[in-house]
Amino acid sequence: MPYLSDTLTGTPVTGTGLGFGVPGYAHPLVAPVEWAELTRPTTPLHWVVLNVARGPGTRPDPHCLEAAGRLTNARVRVLGHLDVAYGARTFGELISDAHRYLDWYKVDGFLLHRCPTERGALPEVRRTLTTLRSLLDTPHLVLDHGTHPHPGYAEAADQLVTFSGPWSDYRWSQVAEWTADYPPERFCHFVHGVPLGHLDEALRLARWQGAATIYFTDRTDRGGTVDPWQTLPGYWDEIVSRIGTGVSE
């Protein structure tokens, strides 16, 4: 399988060029089609987040273990979901969750959801990342800010999620000037509510803004009551084809 080289740690990011980072589908029993689609050989995947129960849960889940194992066997990187809660969760809680993910699901790294953005929180985030790096030989660590953080975070992690939100905001968004100092492999964009008719526009915008890892879906949050990332977009086959062939270049 080809790899996209990571510029910070030298660890591989599965895929070539623009590809998917999957924020985390619903439980495999609820979304079996979604999880099965991720092992399709032609899908340009960079990584997939495993979120068992807003984290690793309290005991091993055999269905999640099976789903994670299938992805690992397909050489797809699996990341454990750690909720930082904008700094409200303690260092000990996060590392305890990380150990559960490693012991139970053999993950390849972590996505730190709801990560702080301000400069003052950076030392504690760095402390957490340093400890996480010590737990694996070549972990892949993604900070999910959902917006542009202080630029110091770019030196701390392998990737940053610098946009997470609706298409109505994304289509008028602007990239922070400091991101031009880093390659696209450093940045991820998650966008929901993208209509099929605007898919090419969204893909072009991701490239113009310098994000190599994306997840676009036509699902919406319905006023914050539904998680738009838990199911496949209605145009999954089409977006896989477009990214895989570079049609929207």
CATH number for position 59 = 3.20.20.80
- In tens, the pLDDT along 48-73 reads 999 999 999 999 999 999 999 999 99
Spatial contact of 218 and 196, defined as CB atoms under 8 Å apart: yes
User: What number of helices (H) and strands (E) belong to the chain?
Assistant: 7, 10
Burial (0-12, 13-18, 19+ Cβ within 10 Å), 217? buried
**Is the pLDDT assigned to residue 155 strictly greater than 80?**
yes
Domain of 146? 3-245
pTM: 0.91
For range 103-109, the mean pLDDT: 98
Angle formed by the axes of helices 236-245 and 199-208, to 10°? Answer: 40
Q: Give me the number of domains the chain comprises.
A: 1
- How far apart, in whole angstroms, are the C-alpha atoms of residue 18 and residue 176? 20
Residue 234 sits at the vertex; the CA angle it makes with 229 and 235, to the nearest 5 degrees, is 110
Q: What pLDDT does 245 receive?
A: 65
